[in-house]
């Protein structure tokens, strides 16, 4: 069995059997590509069926010199998944990653913004700014409002459709990782800004493929992830914010502020679209004063 054949079969399995998104499949494939390139560069002629522990260990040792701990762990996890698939399909008897341990990584607490900082970022937007007749200032305001008020991932934001808006019911339909859909509440204030943008959007010449896409660039096409990062980076610079932030920072802030104000962790999990509540539990570590308040309010022997 050749490496490329094994990789193609694995990618098909990830898409059909596990239902992973294109981005996730690409990331898994990159791990295998690194190993294939290593074997080629070192003239090691071993198929995915015959490669064993020693060669994998040497590859990880050489590669780890260029990677941080978190990236090393992800690489080992990706390779382990690939060889587990080969064992499952009876191409191999054993997984060469079985005795290779991932490096210990600490749980990184997410960066958050104070409400005052979010207000300052939104307040720094020039609402009169237009480009090719498109009032992008109004668009940028509603982008930040939606990121923060709904806790969306940047990919969820740029893929949001007009047909996903259910304002009468107070919800939007969000398509998350693995094309899993969930309904997220949306407040009247954010609805108001989206409707302002929709009035502006109605005067844009829209590309046929993006007739239903909510957020567009000045050419009537879907915004890119990079554009959202640039908008936020420029606003942070404008207010001299001494933090490195991204679209995900608004999602972290959404969850943290809900928790601080007494929201139930399970409700936050559902709104964020986390498959496991252990992922959501990271927000319990952001503000420990919340835990103290819970104890003082509810414990019978406080």
Is a pLDDT exceeding 70 seen at residue 298? no
Neighbours of 71 (CB within 10 A): 14
pTM: 0.64
Strand pairing class (165-166; 171-175): antiparallel
Known active-site residue 153? yes
The owner of tokens 């919340």 is 290
Mean pLDDT of 174-181: 86
Share of the chain above pLDDT 90, in %: 55
Q: Name 271's Cβ contacts closer than 8 Å, sequence gap at least 6.
A: 150, 151, 182, 184, 185, 258
- How many CB atoms neighbour CB 120 within 10 A? 17
Residue 274 bears catalytic tag:
yes
The residue written with tokens 């204030």 in the block is 189
Kindly name the residue from 11, 177, 207, 233 that is annotated as catalytic: 177
Q: Using one digit for the tens of pLDDT, what is the confidence trace for 226-272?
A: 999 999 999 999 999 998 899 999 999 998 898 888 888 888 899 99
Which residue among 139, 251, 252, 257 is the active-site one? 251
Q: Which residues pair with 182 in a beta bridge?
A: 174
248 is catalytic: yes
Catalytic residue among 74, 153, 210, 252: 153
What per-residue confidence (pLDDT) applies to 137?
A: 93
Determine the 3-state secondary structure of 216 from DSSP: strand
CB atoms within 10 A of CB 224: 12
What digits encode the pLDDT tens for the residues 42-56? 999 999 999 999 999
Q: Which of 11, 173, 221, 274 is catalytic?
A: 274
Residues of the chain with CATH 1.10.443.10: 115-294
Q: Which residue has the higher pLDDT, 297 or 207?
A: 207
Mean pLDDT of the chain: 87
Q: Which two tokens stand for residue 122?
A: 């939104």
User: CATH second-level architecture of 3-88?
Assistant: Orthogonal Bundle (1.10)
Residue 177 is among the residues annotated as catalytic for this protein: yes
Confidence tier at 16 by pLDDT (50, 70, 90): confident
Please tell me the CATH superfamily of domain 115-294, with its number: Intergrase catalytic core (1.10.443.10)
Domain with CATH 1.10.150 in the chain: 3-88
């Amino acid at each position: 069995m050749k490496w490329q054949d094994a990789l193609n079969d694995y990618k098909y399995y990830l898409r059909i059997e596990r239902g992973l998104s294109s981005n996730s499949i690409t990331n898994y494939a990159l791990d295998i590509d690194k190993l294939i390139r290593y074997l080629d560069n070192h003239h090691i002629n071993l198929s995915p069926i015959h490669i064993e522990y020693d060669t994998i260990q040497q590859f990880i040792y050489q590669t780890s010199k260029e990677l941080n701990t978190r990236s090393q762990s992800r690489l080992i996890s990706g390779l382990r998944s690939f060889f587990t698939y080969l064992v499952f399909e009876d191409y191999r008897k054993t997984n060469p990653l079985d005795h290779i341990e991932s490096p210990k990584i600490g749980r990184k607490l997410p960066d958050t913004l104070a409400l005052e900082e979010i207000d300052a970022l939104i307040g720094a937007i020039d609402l009169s700014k237009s480009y090719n007749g498109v009032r992008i200032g109004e668009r940028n305001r509603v982008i930040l409002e939606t990121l923060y008020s709904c806790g969306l991932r940047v990919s969820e934001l740029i893929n949001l459709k007009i047909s996903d808006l259910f304002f009468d019911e107070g919800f939007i339909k969000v398509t998350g990782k693995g094309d899993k859909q969930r309904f997220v509440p949306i407040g009247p204030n954010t609805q108001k800004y989206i409707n302002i943008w929709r009035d502006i959007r109605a005067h844009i010449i829209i590309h046929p493929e993006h007739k239903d896409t909510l957020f567009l660039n000045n050419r009537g096409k879907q915004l890119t992830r990079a554009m959202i990062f640039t908008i936020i980076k420029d606003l942070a610079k404008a207010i001299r914010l001494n933090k490195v932030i991204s679209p995900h920072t608004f999602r972290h802030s959404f969850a943290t502020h809900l928790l601080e104000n007494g929201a139930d962790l399970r409700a936050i999990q559902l709104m964020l679209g986390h498959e496991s509540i252990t992922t959501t539990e990271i927000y319990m570590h952001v503000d420990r004063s919340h835990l103290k308040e819970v104890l003082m309010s509810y414990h019978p022997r406080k």
